[in-house]
């Protein structure tokens, strides 16, 4: 199986324009096509971008950084590892701020 090309530097989300976001989608489609051995990755990527543009028809989609499932998994993990006073430890283990850990646990009841 052919390995996808190395990923180019990705700009921060606040630096993306509409065209850049479509470029990211096109690059990722090309990388996935290469990873699965598709013989015409450039054609596939272009077709995907054309279809996405057609479906969105000028709307501005929002791409959140985490899925609902990932948030639920984090919440469940925090609940199962919380011992009543280990906010700082959980914060270090998850990369979340201690304040956010407290908020998640407060809402998890």
Alpha helices of 6-107 — where are they, by DSSP H?
18-35, 41-56, 68-81, 87-94, 98-107
**Considering its fold, how many domains does the chain have in total?**
2
Domain of residue 40: give its range.
17-56
pLDDT 10s digit of each residue in the chain, 109 long? 444 444 344 444 455 455 577 888 899 999 999 999 989 999 999 999 889 888 988 787 777 777 888 888 999 999 999 999 999 999 999 999 999 999 999 985 5
Instruction: Judge whether 30 and 7 are in contact, CB under 8 Å.
Output: no
- State residue 56's pLDDT score: 86
- State residue 81's pLDDT score: 95
Report if residue 30 sits inside a domain. yes
Report if residue 1 sits inside a domain. no
What's the predicted TM-score (pTM) here?
A: 0.45
- State residue 19's pLDDT score: 56
């Amino acid at each position: 199986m052919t390995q996808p090309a190395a990923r180019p530097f990705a700009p921060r989300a606040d630096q993306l324009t509409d065209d850049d976001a479509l470029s990211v989608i096109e690059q990722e489609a090309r990388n996935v096509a290469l990873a699965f051995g598709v013989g015409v990755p450039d054609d596939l990527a272009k077709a995907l971008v054309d279809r996405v543009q057609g479906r969105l028809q000028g709307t501005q989609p929002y791409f959140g950084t985490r899925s609902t499932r990932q948030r639920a998994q984090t919440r469940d993990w925090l609940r199962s590892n919380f011992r009543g006073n280990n906010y700082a430890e959980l914060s270090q283990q998850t990369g979340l701020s201690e304040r956010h850990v407290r908020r998640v646990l407060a809402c998890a009841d």
